[in-house]
Structure 1
Amino acid sequence: MARNDIDATGWLVEDKDSTVVKAYTHTSAWEKVARSITMTANVVEIPRIEDMDVDVIPKGGAYGEETSDADVISIRARKFGKALRIAEEDVEDKKLADYLALKKASAGSSFAKKFDNAAIGVNAAENGTTVPFTSLYKALTTKDDATGYAANANHRAALVAAFTYDALNDLISIAEDSDYYDESQVSIVAHPTFRRLLRGLKDTQGRPLFLNDVVGGRSVNTVLGLPIEWSNGAKVSATAQTKVAGAGGVKGTTGNPLLAVVNKAAAIVGNRKPFESVVIPGRDGTSALTDEDILKVRARKAAGVTMPQAHAVFELLGA
Protein backbone atom coordinates (compact mmCIF):
# COMPACT_ATOMS: atom_id res chain seq x y z
CA MET A 1 0.00 0.00 0.00
CA ALA A 2 1.51 3.35 -1.04
CA ARG A 3 2.34 6.00 1.55
CA ASN A 4 0.44 9.27 1.43
CA ASP A 5 2.26 12.34 2.78
CA ILE A 6 -0.11 14.68 4.58
CA ASP A 7 0.16 17.79 6.72
CA ALA A 8 0.63 16.46 10.24
CA THR A 9 -1.74 18.84 12.00
CA GLY A 10 -2.25 16.37 14.83
CA TRP A 11 1.17 16.94 16.40
CA LEU A 12 1.00 18.31 19.94
CA VAL A 13 3.89 20.33 21.36
CA GLU A 14 4.79 19.03 24.79
CA ASP A 15 4.24 21.71 27.43
CA LYS A 16 7.44 22.87 29.14
CA ASP A 17 6.17 21.40 32.40
CA SER A 18 5.12 18.09 30.88
CA THR A 19 6.63 14.81 32.05
CA VAL A 20 8.48 14.29 28.78
CA VAL A 21 10.05 17.76 28.73
CA LYS A 22 11.03 17.46 32.38
CA ALA A 23 12.67 14.11 31.59
CA TYR A 24 14.58 15.67 28.69
CA THR A 25 15.74 18.85 30.41
CA HIS A 26 16.60 17.01 33.62
CA THR A 27 18.74 14.48 31.76
CA SER A 28 20.49 16.70 29.21
CA ALA A 29 23.60 18.41 30.54
CA TRP A 30 24.28 20.26 27.28
CA GLU A 31 20.82 21.83 27.53
CA LYS A 32 21.86 23.31 30.89
CA VAL A 33 25.38 24.52 30.14
CA ALA A 34 25.07 25.77 26.54
CA ARG A 35 23.65 29.05 25.29
CA SER A 36 20.14 28.59 23.93
CA ILE A 37 19.30 29.98 20.49
CA THR A 38 15.86 29.99 18.88
CA MET A 39 16.27 28.86 15.28
CA THR A 40 13.95 30.57 12.81
CA ALA A 41 15.34 28.48 9.96
CA ASN A 42 16.82 25.03 9.51
CA VAL A 43 20.35 26.52 9.27
CA VAL A 44 21.49 29.46 11.39
CA GLU A 45 24.81 31.29 11.16
CA ILE A 46 26.35 32.41 14.44
CA PRO A 47 29.02 35.15 14.46
CA ARG A 48 32.44 34.33 15.87
CA ILE A 49 33.78 37.81 16.47
CA GLU A 50 37.12 38.60 18.06
CA ASP A 51 37.02 40.96 21.04
CA MET A 52 37.06 44.60 19.97
CA ASP A 53 39.89 46.35 21.73
CA VAL A 54 39.80 49.95 22.94
CA ASP A 55 42.53 52.57 23.10
CA VAL A 56 43.33 55.38 25.49
CA ILE A 57 42.70 58.52 23.43
CA PRO A 58 44.23 61.90 24.34
CA LYS A 59 42.01 64.97 24.20
CA GLY A 60 41.43 65.83 20.59
CA GLY A 61 43.11 62.64 19.44
CA ALA A 62 41.83 60.45 16.61
CA TYR A 63 40.04 57.19 17.25
CA GLY A 64 41.92 54.12 16.14
CA GLU A 65 39.98 51.71 13.95
CA GLU A 66 39.37 48.07 14.84
CA THR A 67 40.90 45.63 12.33
CA SER A 68 39.81 42.24 13.68
CA ASP A 69 37.91 39.94 11.33
CA ALA A 70 34.43 38.50 11.81
CA ASP A 71 33.70 34.85 11.13
CA VAL A 72 30.63 32.63 11.43
CA ILE A 73 29.79 29.01 12.11
CA SER A 74 26.63 27.36 10.88
CA ILE A 75 24.46 25.12 12.99
CA ARG A 76 21.87 22.87 11.39
CA ALA A 77 18.80 21.46 13.12
CA ARG A 78 18.59 17.67 13.04
CA LYS A 79 15.44 15.66 13.62
CA PHE A 80 15.31 13.06 16.38
CA GLY A 81 12.27 10.80 16.56
CA LYS A 82 10.73 7.37 16.97
CA ALA A 83 7.45 5.56 16.39
CA LEU A 84 5.87 3.00 18.71
CA ARG A 85 3.13 0.59 17.66
CA ILE A 86 0.62 -0.32 20.34
CA ALA A 87 -1.71 -3.26 19.91
CA GLU A 88 -5.16 -2.22 21.09
CA GLU A 89 -5.63 -5.58 22.78
CA ASP A 90 -2.56 -5.01 24.97
CA VAL A 91 -3.63 -1.72 26.52
CA GLU A 92 -6.92 -1.11 28.30
CA ASP A 93 -8.47 2.25 27.53
CA LYS A 94 -8.31 3.51 31.11
CA LYS A 95 -4.56 2.83 31.26
CA LEU A 96 -3.63 4.12 27.83
CA ALA A 97 -2.96 7.71 28.93
CA ASP A 98 -0.55 6.59 31.66
CA TYR A 99 1.14 4.18 29.28
CA LEU A 100 1.66 6.88 26.66
CA ALA A 101 2.94 9.37 29.23
CA LEU A 102 5.52 6.87 30.49
CA LYS A 103 6.65 6.02 26.97
CA LYS A 104 7.00 9.69 26.04
CA ALA A 105 9.00 10.40 29.21
CA SER A 106 11.26 7.47 28.40
CA ALA A 107 11.72 8.79 24.87
CA GLY A 108 12.56 12.23 26.23
CA SER A 109 15.25 10.81 28.52
CA SER A 110 16.74 8.73 25.70
CA PHE A 111 16.67 11.72 23.37
CA ALA A 112 18.60 13.77 25.94
CA LYS A 113 21.33 11.14 26.27
CA LYS A 114 21.78 10.82 22.51
CA PHE A 115 21.69 14.61 22.07
CA ASP A 116 24.38 15.02 24.76
CA ASN A 117 26.54 12.35 23.18
CA ALA A 118 26.21 14.04 19.78
CA ALA A 119 27.01 17.46 21.28
CA ILE A 120 29.85 16.37 23.55
CA GLY A 121 31.55 13.09 22.70
CA VAL A 122 31.29 11.96 19.06
CA ASN A 123 34.77 11.86 17.55
CA ALA A 124 33.81 11.82 13.85
CA ALA A 125 33.02 14.53 11.33
CA GLU A 126 29.41 15.72 11.06
CA ASN A 127 27.43 13.83 8.41
CA GLY A 128 23.86 14.75 9.37
CA THR A 129 22.73 11.24 10.27
CA THR A 130 24.88 9.09 12.57
CA VAL A 131 26.88 12.21 13.46
CA PRO A 132 24.35 15.06 13.74
CA PHE A 133 26.74 17.81 14.88
CA THR A 134 30.39 18.72 15.29
CA SER A 135 30.82 17.78 18.94
CA LEU A 136 32.87 19.52 21.60
CA TYR A 137 35.34 16.61 21.52
CA LYS A 138 35.71 16.83 17.74
CA ALA A 139 36.14 20.61 17.87
CA LEU A 140 38.87 20.38 20.52
CA THR A 141 40.80 17.65 18.71
CA THR A 142 40.69 19.36 15.29
CA LYS A 143 42.63 22.32 13.92
CA ASP A 144 40.54 25.45 13.37
CA ASP A 145 42.28 27.86 11.02
CA ALA A 146 39.57 30.51 11.36
CA THR A 147 40.21 30.98 15.09
CA GLY A 148 43.85 29.92 15.17
CA TYR A 149 43.11 26.93 17.38
CA ALA A 150 45.69 24.11 17.24
CA ALA A 151 44.35 20.55 17.30
CA ASN A 152 44.36 19.01 20.82
CA ALA A 153 45.62 22.23 22.44
CA ASN A 154 42.79 22.11 25.01
CA HIS A 155 42.57 18.30 25.21
CA ARG A 156 44.13 16.21 27.95
CA ALA A 157 44.10 12.41 28.32
CA ALA A 158 45.38 10.02 30.98
CA LEU A 159 44.73 6.76 32.80
CA VAL A 160 42.70 6.70 36.01
CA ALA A 161 45.82 6.80 38.20
CA ALA A 162 46.88 10.09 36.57
CA PHE A 163 43.57 11.86 37.24
CA THR A 164 44.90 13.84 40.19
CA TYR A 165 44.39 17.24 41.79
CA ASP A 166 47.13 18.63 39.57
CA ALA A 167 45.54 17.16 36.43
CA LEU A 168 42.15 18.69 37.25
CA ASN A 169 43.74 22.00 38.17
CA ASP A 170 45.64 22.02 34.87
CA LEU A 171 42.45 21.32 32.90
CA ILE A 172 40.48 24.14 34.52
CA SER A 173 43.39 26.54 34.09
CA ILE A 174 43.23 25.99 30.32
CA ALA A 175 39.77 27.58 30.26
CA GLU A 176 40.81 30.21 32.82
CA ASP A 177 43.75 31.30 30.66
CA SER A 178 41.46 31.76 27.65
CA ASP A 179 40.63 35.26 26.47
CA TYR A 180 36.98 34.20 26.69
CA TYR A 181 36.98 33.17 30.36
CA ASP A 182 34.11 34.42 32.51
CA GLU A 183 33.64 32.57 35.79
CA SER A 184 29.87 33.11 35.75
CA GLN A 185 29.65 31.33 32.37
CA VAL A 186 31.76 28.25 33.10
CA SER A 187 30.51 24.81 34.16
CA ILE A 188 31.84 21.27 34.16
CA VAL A 189 30.09 18.44 32.32
CA ALA A 190 31.25 14.95 33.20
CA HIS A 191 30.34 11.32 32.81
CA PRO A 192 29.21 9.75 36.12
CA THR A 193 32.42 7.66 36.09
CA PHE A 194 34.15 10.78 37.41
CA ARG A 195 31.97 10.93 40.54
CA ARG A 196 34.00 8.21 42.24
CA LEU A 197 37.28 9.77 41.12
CA LEU A 198 36.33 13.26 42.25
CA ARG A 199 35.21 12.02 45.67
CA GLY A 200 38.76 10.80 46.22
CA LEU A 201 40.49 14.08 45.31
CA LYS A 202 41.69 16.39 48.10
CA ASP A 203 43.59 19.65 48.13
CA THR A 204 46.99 20.12 49.79
CA GLN A 205 45.24 20.59 53.15
CA GLY A 206 43.42 17.27 52.85
CA ARG A 207 40.05 18.90 52.16
CA PRO A 208 37.75 17.26 49.57
CA LEU A 209 37.36 19.04 46.25
CA PHE A 210 34.01 17.51 45.40
CA LEU A 211 31.26 19.28 47.33
CA ASN A 212 27.49 18.98 47.40
CA ASP A 213 25.00 21.69 48.29
CA VAL A 214 21.27 22.31 47.96
CA VAL A 215 20.29 25.45 46.04
CA GLY A 216 16.62 26.22 45.50
CA GLY A 217 15.67 22.70 46.50
CA ARG A 218 18.04 21.19 43.92
CA SER A 219 21.20 19.27 44.70
CA VAL A 220 24.20 21.06 43.20
CA ASN A 221 27.64 19.48 42.88
CA THR A 222 30.74 21.66 42.63
CA VAL A 223 34.48 21.12 42.29
CA LEU A 224 37.02 23.91 42.80
CA GLY A 225 34.11 26.33 42.82
CA LEU A 226 32.64 25.25 39.47
CA PRO A 227 29.19 23.62 39.17
CA ILE A 228 29.07 20.11 37.68
CA GLU A 229 26.40 18.61 35.46
CA TRP A 230 26.41 14.85 34.91
CA SER A 231 25.68 13.21 31.57
CA ASN A 232 25.74 9.60 30.42
CA GLY A 233 26.36 11.03 26.96
CA ALA A 234 29.78 12.38 27.97
CA LYS A 235 31.70 9.50 26.45
CA VAL A 236 33.75 9.16 23.30
CA SER A 237 31.90 7.40 20.49
CA ALA A 238 32.11 7.07 16.72
CA THR A 239 28.40 7.76 16.22
CA ALA A 240 25.69 9.39 18.32
CA GLN A 241 24.42 6.80 20.80
CA THR A 242 21.93 6.67 23.64
CA LYS A 243 24.02 4.09 25.48
CA VAL A 244 27.66 4.26 24.46
CA ALA A 245 28.90 0.70 24.09
CA GLY A 246 32.66 0.33 24.37
CA ALA A 247 35.29 -0.66 26.90
CA GLY A 248 37.53 2.31 26.18
CA GLY A 249 41.23 2.33 25.41
CA VAL A 250 43.69 4.73 23.83
CA LYS A 251 42.75 8.30 22.93
CA GLY A 252 39.62 8.48 20.79
CA THR A 253 38.40 4.98 21.66
CA THR A 254 34.66 4.49 22.05
CA GLY A 255 33.76 4.24 25.73
CA ASN A 256 36.34 6.63 27.18
CA PRO A 257 34.58 8.90 29.73
CA LEU A 258 34.93 12.66 29.36
CA LEU A 259 35.08 15.61 31.75
CA ALA A 260 34.67 18.94 29.98
CA VAL A 261 35.06 22.53 31.13
CA VAL A 262 32.41 24.37 29.11
CA ASN A 263 32.03 28.11 28.58
CA LYS A 264 28.33 28.84 28.07
CA ALA A 265 29.02 31.87 25.89
CA ALA A 266 30.84 29.68 23.34
CA ALA A 267 28.58 26.61 23.42
CA ILE A 268 25.30 26.46 21.51
CA VAL A 269 22.04 24.55 21.74
CA GLY A 270 19.76 25.43 18.84
CA ASN A 271 16.00 25.05 19.21
CA ARG A 272 14.12 24.63 15.93
CA LYS A 273 11.20 22.41 16.98
CA PRO A 274 10.37 21.45 20.57
CA PHE A 275 9.65 17.91 21.65
CA GLU A 276 6.25 16.98 20.25
CA SER A 277 4.10 13.89 19.90
CA VAL A 278 1.11 12.51 18.04
CA VAL A 279 -1.03 9.41 18.50
CA ILE A 280 -2.35 7.91 15.27
CA PRO A 281 -5.42 5.76 16.07
CA GLY A 282 -5.64 2.23 14.72
CA ARG A 283 -9.18 2.81 13.46
CA ASP A 284 -8.21 4.25 10.07
CA GLY A 285 -5.45 4.24 7.49
CA THR A 286 -3.06 1.32 7.19
CA SER A 287 -3.17 0.83 10.97
CA ALA A 288 -6.79 -0.29 10.65
CA LEU A 289 -5.52 -3.52 9.11
CA THR A 290 -3.74 -4.48 12.34
CA ASP A 291 -5.69 -2.67 15.09
CA GLU A 292 -2.56 -0.81 16.20
CA ASP A 293 -2.27 2.71 17.52
CA ILE A 294 0.99 4.47 16.69
CA LEU A 295 2.76 6.92 19.02
CA LYS A 296 5.26 9.18 17.27
CA VAL A 297 7.66 11.56 19.01
CA ARG A 298 10.13 13.99 17.49
CA ALA A 299 12.20 17.11 18.07
CA ARG A 300 14.57 19.21 15.98
CA LYS A 301 17.68 20.49 17.73
CA ALA A 302 21.16 21.71 16.91
CA ALA A 303 24.41 21.94 18.87
CA GLY A 304 27.77 23.53 18.26
CA VAL A 305 30.93 25.15 19.61
CA THR A 306 31.82 28.66 18.50
CA MET A 307 35.31 29.16 19.98
CA PRO A 308 37.28 25.97 20.79
CA GLN A 309 39.74 27.99 22.88
CA ALA A 310 37.04 28.71 25.46
CA HIS A 311 36.69 25.05 26.53
CA ALA A 312 38.82 22.14 27.73
CA VAL A 313 38.27 18.39 27.93
CA PHE A 314 39.84 15.52 29.85
CA GLU A 315 39.58 12.03 28.39
CA LEU A 316 39.88 9.09 30.78
CA LEU A 317 41.73 6.33 28.93
CA GLY A 318 40.85 2.67 29.14
CA ALA A 319 37.91 3.20 31.51
Structure 2
Amino acid sequence: MLIDGHGRKVNYLRISVTERCNFRCQYCMPEKPFSWVPRENLLSFEELFSFVRVAIDEGVDKIRITGGEPLLREDLDRFIQMIHDHKPDIDLALTTNGYLLANVAERLKDAGLKRINISIDTLKPDVAAKIAQKDVLSKVLEGVEKALEVGLKVKVNMVPLKGINEDEIIDVMEYAKARGMTIRYIEYMENVHAKNGLQGLNGKEILAKVKEKYTIQKVGREGSSPAFHYLTDDGYKFGLIDPHKHDFCESCNRIRLTAEGFLIPCLYFDEAMSIRDAVKAGNIEAASEILREVLRNKPEKNRWSEENAEESTRAFYETGG
Protein backbone atom coordinates (compact mmCIF):
# COMPACT_ATOMS: atom_id res chain seq x y z
CA MET A 1 0.00 0.00 0.00
CA LEU A 2 1.22 3.49 -0.90
CA ILE A 3 0.75 6.11 1.84
CA ASP A 4 1.83 9.74 1.56
CA GLY A 5 3.34 11.92 4.27
CA HIS A 6 -0.11 13.00 5.46
CA GLY A 7 -1.51 9.50 5.87
CA ARG A 8 -3.51 9.47 2.64
CA LYS A 9 -3.71 6.27 0.64
CA VAL A 10 -2.46 6.77 -2.94
CA ASN A 11 -4.02 4.33 -5.39
CA TYR A 12 -4.44 6.48 -8.52
CA LEU A 13 -1.68 6.97 -11.11
CA ARG A 14 -2.04 9.40 -14.00
CA ILE A 15 0.44 8.77 -16.82
CA SER A 16 1.20 11.40 -19.44
CA VAL A 17 2.52 9.49 -22.47
CA THR A 18 3.35 12.61 -24.50
CA GLU A 19 3.46 16.40 -24.18
CA ARG A 20 2.53 16.79 -27.84
CA CYS A 21 -0.91 18.07 -28.77
CA ASN A 22 -2.67 18.72 -32.07
CA PHE A 23 -4.73 21.56 -30.55
CA ARG A 24 -3.54 24.94 -29.33
CA CYS A 25 -6.29 25.70 -26.83
CA GLN A 26 -6.35 29.20 -25.39
CA TYR A 27 -6.39 27.99 -21.77
CA CYS A 28 -3.51 25.55 -22.19
CA MET A 29 -0.80 26.17 -24.78
CA PRO A 30 -2.00 28.73 -27.39
CA GLU A 31 1.45 29.98 -28.41
CA LYS A 32 3.56 26.82 -28.10
CA PRO A 33 5.20 25.88 -31.43
CA PHE A 34 4.26 22.52 -32.93
CA SER A 35 7.30 20.63 -31.71
CA TRP A 36 7.96 17.55 -29.64
CA VAL A 37 10.36 16.06 -27.17
CA PRO A 38 12.91 13.88 -28.99
CA ARG A 39 11.95 10.21 -28.90
CA GLU A 40 15.12 9.29 -27.04
CA ASN A 41 14.05 11.54 -24.15
CA LEU A 42 10.83 9.61 -23.64
CA LEU A 43 10.48 6.44 -21.67
CA SER A 44 9.38 3.58 -23.92
CA PHE A 45 6.13 1.80 -23.16
CA GLU A 46 8.17 -1.11 -21.84
CA GLU A 47 10.09 1.21 -19.50
CA LEU A 48 6.93 2.96 -18.35
CA PHE A 49 5.27 -0.39 -17.71
CA SER A 50 8.21 -1.69 -15.67
CA PHE A 51 7.40 1.07 -13.17
CA VAL A 52 3.63 0.86 -13.57
CA ARG A 53 3.70 -2.85 -12.76
CA VAL A 54 5.39 -2.12 -9.42
CA ALA A 55 2.90 0.66 -8.67
CA ILE A 56 0.00 -1.70 -9.34
CA ASP A 57 1.53 -4.38 -7.13
CA GLU A 58 1.90 -1.73 -4.37
CA GLY A 59 -1.80 -0.92 -4.49
CA VAL A 60 -2.54 1.34 -7.47
CA ASP A 61 -5.91 0.21 -8.82
CA LYS A 62 -6.81 3.19 -11.00
CA ILE A 63 -4.79 4.47 -13.96
CA ARG A 64 -5.56 7.29 -16.37
CA ILE A 65 -3.60 7.83 -19.58
CA THR A 66 -3.19 11.50 -20.46
CA GLY A 67 -0.98 13.84 -22.50
CA GLY A 68 -0.65 16.33 -24.23
CA GLU A 69 -2.93 14.40 -26.54
CA PRO A 70 -2.26 10.73 -25.77
CA LEU A 71 -3.59 9.46 -29.08
CA LEU A 72 -0.60 11.09 -30.79
CA ARG A 73 1.60 8.43 -29.16
CA GLU A 74 1.86 5.60 -31.67
CA ASP A 75 0.58 2.16 -30.62
CA LEU A 76 -1.02 3.42 -27.43
CA ASP A 77 -3.31 0.40 -27.45
CA ARG A 78 -0.24 -1.79 -26.92
CA PHE A 79 0.60 0.04 -23.68
CA ILE A 80 -3.00 -0.24 -22.52
CA GLN A 81 -2.90 -3.95 -23.28
CA MET A 82 0.24 -4.35 -21.11
CA ILE A 83 -1.52 -2.78 -18.15
CA HIS A 84 -4.74 -4.72 -18.69
CA ASP A 85 -2.93 -8.04 -19.03
CA HIS A 86 -1.14 -7.44 -15.71
CA LYS A 87 -4.35 -6.53 -13.85
CA PRO A 88 -7.51 -7.11 -15.92
CA ASP A 89 -9.83 -5.57 -13.32
CA ILE A 90 -7.91 -2.28 -13.03
CA ASP A 91 -9.90 0.91 -13.60
CA LEU A 92 -8.20 2.02 -16.82
CA ALA A 93 -9.21 5.34 -18.38
CA LEU A 94 -8.04 7.88 -20.98
CA THR A 95 -8.33 11.66 -21.31
CA THR A 96 -8.37 12.88 -24.92
CA ASN A 97 -9.47 15.82 -27.03
CA GLY A 98 -11.26 13.26 -29.22
CA TYR A 99 -9.92 14.45 -32.59
CA LEU A 100 -8.29 11.11 -33.48
CA LEU A 101 -10.61 8.91 -31.46
CA ALA A 102 -12.98 7.61 -34.13
CA ASN A 103 -10.23 5.62 -35.84
CA VAL A 104 -8.86 3.97 -32.68
CA ALA A 105 -11.77 3.69 -30.22
CA GLU A 106 -12.45 0.04 -30.97
CA ARG A 107 -8.75 -0.93 -30.66
CA LEU A 108 -8.53 0.87 -27.33
CA LYS A 109 -11.64 -0.87 -26.03
CA ASP A 110 -10.36 -4.28 -27.17
CA ALA A 111 -7.02 -3.60 -25.43
CA GLY A 112 -8.76 -3.11 -22.09
CA LEU A 113 -9.67 0.58 -21.88
CA LYS A 114 -12.86 1.14 -19.89
CA ARG A 115 -13.54 4.87 -19.79
CA ILE A 116 -12.77 8.08 -21.70
CA ASN A 117 -12.94 11.76 -20.76
CA ILE A 118 -13.36 14.12 -23.71
CA SER A 119 -13.17 17.91 -23.67
CA ILE A 120 -16.19 19.53 -25.32
CA ASP A 121 -16.15 23.24 -24.61
CA THR A 122 -18.68 24.19 -27.27
CA LEU A 123 -21.07 22.77 -29.85
CA LYS A 124 -20.42 25.63 -32.28
CA PRO A 125 -17.76 24.93 -34.94
CA ASP A 126 -16.55 28.53 -35.06
CA VAL A 127 -16.20 28.77 -31.28
CA ALA A 128 -14.39 25.42 -31.17
CA ALA A 129 -12.00 26.71 -33.83
CA LYS A 130 -11.43 29.88 -31.80
CA ILE A 131 -10.62 27.94 -28.63
CA ALA A 132 -8.47 25.22 -30.23
CA GLN A 133 -7.11 27.43 -33.05
CA LYS A 134 -8.10 24.67 -35.47
CA ASP A 135 -11.28 23.36 -37.12
CA VAL A 136 -11.92 20.44 -34.77
CA LEU A 137 -15.52 20.02 -33.71
CA SER A 138 -16.85 17.60 -36.32
CA LYS A 139 -14.05 15.10 -35.70
CA VAL A 140 -14.39 15.41 -31.92
CA LEU A 141 -18.12 14.68 -32.07
CA GLU A 142 -17.48 11.78 -34.44
CA GLY A 143 -15.03 10.40 -31.90
CA VAL A 144 -17.64 10.66 -29.14
CA GLU A 145 -20.19 8.72 -31.16
CA LYS A 146 -17.68 6.00 -32.03
CA ALA A 147 -16.56 5.62 -28.42
CA LEU A 148 -20.16 5.16 -27.31
CA GLU A 149 -20.82 2.75 -30.15
CA VAL A 150 -17.99 0.40 -29.12
CA GLY A 151 -19.11 0.42 -25.48
CA LEU A 152 -16.73 2.84 -23.79
CA LYS A 153 -18.09 4.92 -20.94
CA VAL A 154 -17.68 8.58 -21.85
CA LYS A 155 -17.50 11.63 -19.59
CA VAL A 156 -17.49 15.21 -20.92
CA ASN A 157 -15.29 18.01 -19.55
CA MET A 158 -16.12 21.67 -20.22
CA VAL A 159 -14.16 24.80 -19.29
CA PRO A 160 -16.56 27.79 -19.35
CA LEU A 161 -14.83 30.99 -20.49
CA LYS A 162 -16.22 34.50 -20.27
CA GLY A 163 -17.20 35.98 -23.60
CA ILE A 164 -16.45 32.75 -25.45
CA ASN A 165 -18.64 29.79 -24.49
CA GLU A 166 -20.43 30.79 -21.29
CA ASP A 167 -23.76 30.84 -23.16
CA GLU A 168 -23.43 27.10 -23.94
CA ILE A 169 -23.24 25.69 -20.43
CA ILE A 170 -26.75 24.24 -20.63
CA ASP A 171 -26.41 23.25 -24.30
CA VAL A 172 -23.34 21.11 -23.67
CA MET A 173 -24.99 19.57 -20.61
CA GLU A 174 -28.03 18.58 -22.66
CA TYR A 175 -25.83 17.17 -25.42
CA ALA A 176 -24.13 14.96 -22.82
CA LYS A 177 -27.37 14.04 -21.07
CA ALA A 178 -29.02 12.94 -24.32
CA ARG A 179 -26.21 10.41 -24.82
CA GLY A 180 -26.04 9.10 -21.27
CA MET A 181 -22.78 10.91 -20.54
CA THR A 182 -21.84 12.77 -17.37
CA ILE A 183 -20.53 16.32 -17.66
CA ARG A 184 -18.04 18.03 -15.37
CA TYR A 185 -17.59 21.79 -15.52
CA ILE A 186 -14.00 22.73 -14.72
CA GLU A 187 -13.07 26.21 -13.59
CA TYR A 188 -10.36 27.73 -15.75
CA MET A 189 -6.99 27.12 -14.07
CA GLU A 190 -4.73 30.17 -14.20
CA ASN A 191 -1.33 29.35 -15.67
CA VAL A 192 1.46 31.26 -17.38
CA HIS A 193 1.06 29.31 -20.63
CA ALA A 194 -2.53 30.42 -21.26
CA LYS A 195 -3.63 33.36 -23.42
CA ASN A 196 -3.26 36.70 -21.67
CA GLY A 197 -6.48 38.16 -20.39
CA LEU A 198 -8.43 34.92 -20.50
CA GLN A 199 -11.13 34.74 -17.82
CA GLY A 200 -13.12 31.75 -16.70
CA LEU A 201 -16.39 31.54 -14.82
CA ASN A 202 -16.16 30.61 -11.17
CA GLY A 203 -18.27 27.88 -9.64
CA LYS A 204 -21.06 30.17 -8.48
CA GLU A 205 -21.33 31.71 -11.94
CA ILE A 206 -21.44 28.29 -13.60
CA LEU A 207 -24.18 27.09 -11.26
CA ALA A 208 -26.13 30.30 -11.85
CA LYS A 209 -26.16 29.51 -15.59
CA VAL A 210 -27.44 25.98 -14.92
CA LYS A 211 -30.14 27.40 -12.63
CA GLU A 212 -31.50 29.49 -15.50
CA LYS A 213 -33.21 26.28 -16.64
CA TYR A 214 -32.93 23.72 -13.83
CA THR A 215 -33.54 23.49 -10.12
CA ILE A 216 -30.51 21.78 -8.61
CA GLN A 217 -29.56 20.20 -5.31
CA LYS A 218 -26.21 19.34 -3.80
CA VAL A 219 -25.05 15.73 -3.82
CA GLY A 220 -21.46 16.17 -2.66
CA ARG A 221 -18.17 14.48 -3.46
CA GLU A 222 -17.86 10.82 -4.32
CA GLY A 223 -14.80 9.16 -2.86
CA SER A 224 -11.62 11.07 -3.68
CA SER A 225 -12.98 12.73 -6.83
CA PRO A 226 -12.16 16.46 -7.08
CA ALA A 227 -15.64 17.08 -8.48
CA PHE A 228 -18.54 18.26 -6.32
CA HIS A 229 -21.74 16.76 -7.69
CA TYR A 230 -25.19 18.22 -8.17
CA LEU A 231 -28.53 16.78 -9.25
CA THR A 232 -30.99 18.55 -11.55
CA ASP A 233 -34.72 18.34 -10.97
CA ASP A 234 -35.05 15.79 -13.81
CA GLY A 235 -32.52 13.46 -12.15
CA TYR A 236 -29.36 14.27 -14.12
CA LYS A 237 -26.14 14.37 -12.10
CA PHE A 238 -23.28 16.70 -13.10
CA GLY A 239 -20.01 17.72 -11.51
CA LEU A 240 -18.11 20.93 -10.82
CA ILE A 241 -14.36 21.10 -10.23
CA ASP A 242 -13.11 24.16 -8.37
CA PRO A 243 -9.30 24.06 -8.14
CA HIS A 244 -9.23 27.16 -5.94
CA LYS A 245 -10.49 25.24 -2.93
CA HIS A 246 -8.64 22.84 -0.66
CA ASP A 247 -11.49 20.57 0.37
CA PHE A 248 -10.73 17.88 -2.20
CA CYS A 249 -7.07 17.86 -1.16
CA GLU A 250 -8.00 16.11 2.08
CA SER A 251 -8.74 12.91 0.19
CA CYS A 252 -6.24 13.27 -2.66
CA ASN A 253 -5.21 9.80 -3.80
CA ARG A 254 -3.23 10.55 -6.94
CA ILE A 255 0.25 10.96 -8.27
CA ARG A 256 1.43 11.76 -11.79
CA LEU A 257 4.12 10.33 -14.08
CA THR A 258 5.28 12.16 -17.22
CA ALA A 259 6.53 10.62 -20.45
CA GLU A 260 10.06 11.72 -19.55
CA GLY A 261 9.92 9.97 -16.19
CA PHE A 262 9.10 12.77 -13.74
CA LEU A 263 6.95 11.85 -10.75
CA ILE A 264 4.77 14.80 -9.75
CA PRO A 265 3.08 14.77 -6.33
CA CYS A 266 0.54 17.55 -6.98
CA LEU A 267 -0.79 19.15 -10.16
CA TYR A 268 -0.43 22.65 -8.69
CA PHE A 269 3.18 22.26 -7.55
CA ASP A 270 6.15 22.47 -9.88
CA GLU A 271 8.38 20.17 -7.83
CA ALA A 272 9.08 16.70 -9.22
CA MET A 273 11.61 13.86 -9.02
CA SER A 274 12.77 11.73 -11.93
CA ILE A 275 12.74 7.93 -12.16
CA ARG A 276 14.14 8.07 -15.70
CA ASP A 277 17.73 6.98 -14.97
CA ALA A 278 16.64 4.25 -12.56
CA VAL A 279 14.10 2.81 -14.99
CA LYS A 280 16.45 2.94 -17.96
CA ALA A 281 19.07 1.12 -15.88
CA GLY A 282 16.50 -1.51 -14.96
CA ASN A 283 16.82 -0.57 -11.29
CA ILE A 284 13.17 -0.76 -10.33
CA GLU A 285 14.04 -0.87 -6.63
CA ALA A 286 15.64 2.58 -6.94
CA ALA A 287 12.61 3.85 -8.87
CA SER A 288 10.35 2.53 -6.11
CA GLU A 289 12.36 4.40 -3.47
CA ILE A 290 12.03 7.61 -5.50
CA LEU A 291 8.28 7.01 -5.58
CA ARG A 292 8.20 6.68 -1.80
CA GLU A 293 10.26 9.86 -1.41
CA VAL A 294 7.83 11.75 -3.66
CA LEU A 295 4.93 10.43 -1.58
CA ARG A 296 6.61 11.48 1.65
CA ASN A 297 6.90 15.02 0.25
CA LYS A 298 3.42 15.17 -1.30
CA PRO A 299 1.91 18.51 -0.15
CA GLU A 300 -1.12 18.62 2.08
CA LYS A 301 -2.83 21.37 0.04
CA ASN A 302 -2.53 23.04 -3.34
CA ARG A 303 -1.36 26.62 -3.82
CA TRP A 304 -4.50 27.95 -5.47
CA SER A 305 -6.60 29.10 -2.55
CA GLU A 306 -8.99 31.93 -3.28
CA GLU A 307 -7.27 34.10 -0.67
CA ASN A 308 -3.70 33.59 -1.86
CA ALA A 309 -3.83 32.25 -5.38
CA GLU A 310 -0.71 31.54 -7.38
CA GLU A 311 -0.52 31.49 -11.16
CA SER A 312 0.97 28.10 -11.84
CA THR A 313 3.99 27.65 -14.07
CA ARG A 314 3.02 24.00 -14.52
CA ALA A 315 2.63 23.13 -18.20
CA PHE A 316 -0.62 21.20 -18.10
CA TYR A 317 0.14 19.73 -21.52
CA GLU A 318 2.95 17.80 -19.84
CA THR A 319 0.84 16.42 -17.01
CA GLY A 320 -2.63 16.04 -18.44
CA GLY A 321 -4.40 18.19 -15.85
Question: Do Structure 1 and Structure 2 share a fold, with TM-score over 0.5?
Answer: no
The higher-RCO structure (CA 8 Å, 6+ apart) is: 1
Larger Rg: 1
More strand, by proportion:
1
- TM-score normalised over the length of structure 1: 0.26
- TM-score normalised over the length of structure 2: 0.26
